[in-house]
Amino acid sequence: MLRTACLKAFVLCMCLRATGIATGADRDALSGATSRGAVSLAVENFVFEHYIKDGRLHGTLSYPTKGWIAVGFKPVKRMKDANIIMGYADGDDFVVSDQFGTGTTSHKPDSAIGGTDDVLQGSCSEKNGVTSMWFVIPLDSGDEKDRKLTPGETVPVIFAAGKKDSFHFKHGKVASKKITLQDVNERTADE
């Protein structure tokens, strides 16, 4: 789990821009697959963008809430077996956590169920009632509490958002979609 303060979030955000992943200001320019390779998806007010580079998935998620937001990769049913990344911002602090769908309506931090927290980088912030998170995770962490992701693979993805800055409070909103994982190197090679 990543916990840190606002200044670090800002620095990470700047790094994110440098690597080409979308932040709020870039969002309009990134709808659909773009020349920078990130793919943008909007579903029921969730905006999710991702690209894959060098064996890592870089993602951003935003939703209009002052509470937590989450994305889960490859659930088999509802939340079950999903590799979930959850975050919230609370004043100057934020949390980004690697979690796992332990059942159809339950999830736990990987580190609490024999796995490891594999969020390599991340931050979460809240502005004007919108919470935004970005993160970098390995495609194959080797942790059995993550799901292996493969470039080019089409996978189910779930999104959820809660109204509180606590992962113990249930979502007010969920959504799901299938996405094709986009390798930025492949796209560049194709073009």
Closest CA to 94 of 134, 130, 123: 123
Nearer to ligand HEM among residue 85 and residue 184 (C-beta): 85
- Of 167, 181, 182, 187, which one interacts with ligand HEM (CB under 6 A)? 167
- Of 83, 171, 181, 187, which one interacts with ligand HEM (CB under 6 A)? 171
**124 scored as a contact of ligand HEM (CB under 6 A):** no
- Of 107, 145, 147, 187, which one interacts with ligand HEM (CB under 6 A)? 107
Tell me the window of 4-12, 30-38, 40-48, 171-179 that interacts with ligand HEM (CB under 6 A). Answer: 171-179
Amino acid at 141: S
Integer angstrom CA distances of residue 105 from 27, 100, 149: 32, 11, 22
Coil, helix or strand at residue 29? helix
**105 scored as a contact of ligand HEM (CB under 6 A):** yes
**170 scored as a contact of ligand HEM (CB under 6 A):** yes
Site for ligand HEM in 45-84 (CB under 6 A): 70-72, 78-79, 84
Nearer to ligand HEM among residue 58 and residue 107 (C-beta): 107
Got the DSSP string for 48-113?
EEEEEETTEEEEEEEES-SS-EEEEES-SBTTBT-EEEEEEEETTEEEEEEEEEEETTEEEEGGGT
Amino acid at 113: I
Nearer to ligand HEM among residue 35 and residue 105 (C-beta): 105
CA distance 59 to 96: 12
Residues that bind ligand HEM (CB under 6 A): 70-72, 78-79, 84, 86, 105, 107, 158, 160, 162, 167, 170-171, 174, 176
